[in-house]
Amino acid sequence: MKPLFVVLVSTAWTLIGAQNYYQGLMDYLENRLLAIEDRMQLWDVQFHRYHTEMLDFKKLTAQAVEGLRNDHKMMFKDLEGASAQVDRVEREMDYVETQTSPRACANKADKVVEQEAWGLQEREEEEEEDWEELHSKVSDCVEIISGIRSVKILKRVGSPKGLWTRDPRSSRVYIFNGTSGDTIYQFNSVRDFSRSMGATSSKNIKLPSEWNGLGSAVYNGYLYYIKKDTDTDAQVVKYDLLSGSVSETAMFPVESHTSLYNLNPETVADLAADNQGLWLLYAPSDSEPNISLAKMDPATLDIEQIWDTRCPRENAEAAFVVCGTVYVVYNTRLASRSRVQCVFDVNDMVINEEAPLLYFPRRYGAHASLKYNPEEKQLYGWDDGYQIIYRLTMKRKLLA
CATH (domain of 325): 2.115.10
DSSP assigned state of 199: G
Which of 66, 100, 134 marks a domain boundary? 100
pLDDT of residue 170: 87
Question: Could you tell me if 312 and 258 are in contact, meaning their C-beta atoms sit under 8 angstroms apart?
Answer: no
pTM: 0.68
Both 82 and 133 in a single domain? no
pLDDT of residue 299: 93
Question: Could you tell me if 270 and 236 are in contact, meaning their C-beta atoms sit under 8 angstroms apart?
Answer: no
Both 88 and 143 in a single domain? no
Both 364 and 382 in a single domain? yes
Number of independent structural domains in the chain: 2
Any residues with CB less than 8 A from the CB of 75 and at least 6 apart, and which? Answer: none
pLDDT of residue 78: 85
Residues in the chain predicted with pLDDT less than 70, given as ranges, are: 1-9, 12-13, 87, 90-140, 200-201, 229-232, 253, 255-256, 351-354, 398-400
DSSP assigned state of 361: P
Which of 80, 100, 120 marks a domain boundary? 100
Both 77 and 218 in a single domain? no
212-256 pLDDT per residue, tens: 999 999 999 999 999 986 666 788 999 999 999 999 999 876 765
Both 76 and 135 in a single domain? no
pLDDT of residue 253: 65
CA distance 78 to 58: 30
Both 76 and 113 in a single domain? no
290-296 vs 277-282, strand pairing mode: antiparallel
Both 123 and 77 in a single domain? no
Both 363 and 351 in a single domain? yes
Both 352 and 212 in a single domain? yes
Q: How open is the CA angle 162-255-177, to the nearest 5 degrees?
A: 10
88-102 pLDDT per residue, tens: 776 666 556 555 544
Which of 75, 100, 125 marks a domain boundary? 100
CA distance 370 to 215: 9
Both 146 and 77 in a single domain? no
Both 78 and 123 in a single domain? no
Any residues with CB less than 8 A from the CB of 324 and at least 6 apart, and which? Answer: 138, 141, 274, 276, 345, 346, 347
pLDDT of residue 134: 41
Of the candidates 205, 283, 192, the residue with the CA atom closest to the CA atom of residue 239: 205
Tell me the residue range of the domain where 15 lies: 1-100
Both 76 and 124 in a single domain? no
Q: What is the DSSP string of 95-131?
A: HHHHHSPP-----GGG-TTTTT-S-TTS-HHHHHHHH
pLDDT of residue 232: 63
